[in-house]
């Protein structure tokens, strides 16, 4: 299996990796969210950092946060249509391409969160799991690290691949996602995280490049996309009041495909946190509401217009408005 590096974003990959390195080596200012650390009645026990992020989501990406044992969460996620149509569809708010995901998650034990969700796009059913490997603790771990993975299936009756080709086997419907997330809470205001992900699609389209009639043997296989796709992301939160934060996220593809190369994603939004809800409203490029679908098939270009090697012109600055709402119950 060979992988090519996505050249236009290589500089950004370097920046993301530098961010990851910085998160890993910085140890000077580890801090608990409680902040009540200087004068206490009894000697203080060192505790893991709390609320590195307020939600399991940061726009389209997962955060390192895993809810405490016994937490049931409902997710309501909505992505409007593209804003580029202007007032014609009220900047996408009434866009026909709007996408919705409903999900439910439960934390049966500490550190583990299990979930299921269904998305309008492709009627995609996903099962997901998240496990907190380590949690940032002063003097022990400078960062938190969490694994997130999901398996998704396209449940449409007449499912098709990314280029419109008919799916020939049920196994073509499946895709998988694995991600390692590393985050650091620098202080009560600023948290940053870097993540490396691996998406797998079971089916890609392609053809044999040659056929020898005498030996009846096929030549090399041309694949329009790779089965495996690697990407990195950098996300952050700046909390400017007790309940409000500015959130951002940037995702950069690493794998370069022969065709159908996905675009990076740039997102910026506002988060409001209450006792049982977290609300996030933002502009983003991702519209698929599933990690591997976003990373593999994002055709919204956040930057200026460009032309692919195949001569296709990709329009620039294609953003959409979206929101995430989570509702928590503790049992």
Partner 1 sequence: MKKNLIIPFLMLIVFFGATLMTAFTPFQGAKPWTVPDAAKSKKSSVASNAASIAAGKELWTTHCKSCHGAKGLGDGSKAAQLKTEPGDFSKSDVQGMSDGEIFYKISEGRDDMPSFKKKLPDEEDRWNLVVFMRTLKK
- Using CB under 8 A, list all residues that contact partner 1: 33-42, 47, 50, 68, 70, 188, 241-243, 273-275, 330-331
Residue 243 vs 270, nearer CB to partner 1: 243
SS3 113: strand
Residue 38 vs 212, nearer CB to partner 1: 38
Distance CA 185, CA 183 (A): 7
Residue 11 vs 47, nearer CB to partner 1: 47
Output the smallest distance, CB 276 to partner 1, in A: 8
Q: Which residues lie closer than 8 Å to 322 by C-beta, 6 or more apart?
A: 59, 77, 78, 79, 80, 281, 282, 283, 284, 287
Output the smallest distance, CB 36 to partner 1, in A: 4
Give the β-pairing of 211-212 and 228-239.
unpaired
Q: What would the two tokens of residue 314 be?
A: 């990709």
Residue 235 vs 273, nearer CB to partner 1: 273
Residue 215 vs 241, nearer CB to partner 1: 241
Distance CA 75, CA 200 (A): 24
Residue 70 vs 108, nearer CB to partner 1: 70
How would you label 71-81 residue by residue, b for 16+ Cβ within 10 Å and e otherwise?
Answer: bebebebbbbb
Output the smallest distance, CB 295 to partner 1, in A: 33
> Closest Cα partner for 261 from 273, 270, 253?
253
Q: What would the two tokens of residue 69 be?
A: 């044992």
Output the smallest distance, CB 47 to partner 1, in A: 7
Output the smallest distance, CB 161 to partner 1, in A: 36
Output the smallest distance, CB 241 to partner 1, in A: 8
């Amino acid at each position: 299996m060979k992988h090519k590096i996505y050249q236009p974003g290589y500089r950004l990959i370097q920046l993301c990796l530098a961010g990851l390195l910085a998160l890993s080596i910085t140890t000077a200012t580890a801090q608990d969210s409680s902040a009540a650390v200087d004068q206490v009645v009894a000697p203080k026990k060192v505790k893991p950092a709390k609320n590195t992020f307020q939600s399991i989501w940061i726009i389209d990406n997962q955060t390192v946060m895993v809810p405490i044992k016994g937490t049931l969460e409902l997710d309501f996620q909505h992505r409007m249509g593209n804003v580029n149509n202007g007032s014609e569809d009220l900047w996408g708010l009434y866009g026909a391409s709007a996408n919705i995901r409903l999900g439910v998650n439960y934390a049966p034990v500490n550190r583990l969160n299990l979930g299921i969700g269904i998305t309008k796009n492709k009627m995609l059913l996903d099962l997901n799991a998240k496990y907190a490997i380590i949690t940032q603790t002063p003097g022990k771990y400078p960062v938190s690290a969490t694994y997130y993975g999901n398996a998704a299936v396209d449940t449409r009756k007449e499912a098709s691949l990314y280029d419109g080709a008919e799916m020939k086997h049920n196994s073509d419907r499946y895709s998988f996602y694995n991600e390692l997330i590393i985050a650091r809470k620098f202080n009560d205001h600023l948290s940053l995280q870097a993540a490396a992900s691996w998406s797998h699609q079971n089916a890609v389209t392609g053809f044999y490049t040659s056929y020898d009639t005498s030996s009846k043997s096929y030549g090399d296989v041309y694949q329009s996309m790779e089965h495996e796709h690697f990407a990195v992301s950098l996300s952050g939160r700046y909390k400017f009041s007790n309940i409000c934060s500015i959130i951002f996220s940037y995702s950069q593809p690493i794998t370069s495909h022969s065709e159908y190369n996905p675009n990076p994603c740039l997102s910026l939004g506002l988060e409001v946190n209450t006792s049982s809800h977290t609300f996030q409203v933002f502009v983003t490029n991702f519209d698929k509401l599933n990690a591997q679908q976003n990373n593999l098939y994002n055709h919204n270009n956040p930057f200026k217009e460009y032309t692919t090697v195949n001569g296709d012109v990709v329009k620039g600055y294609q953003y959409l408005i979206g929101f995430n709402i989570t509702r928590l119950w503790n049992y």
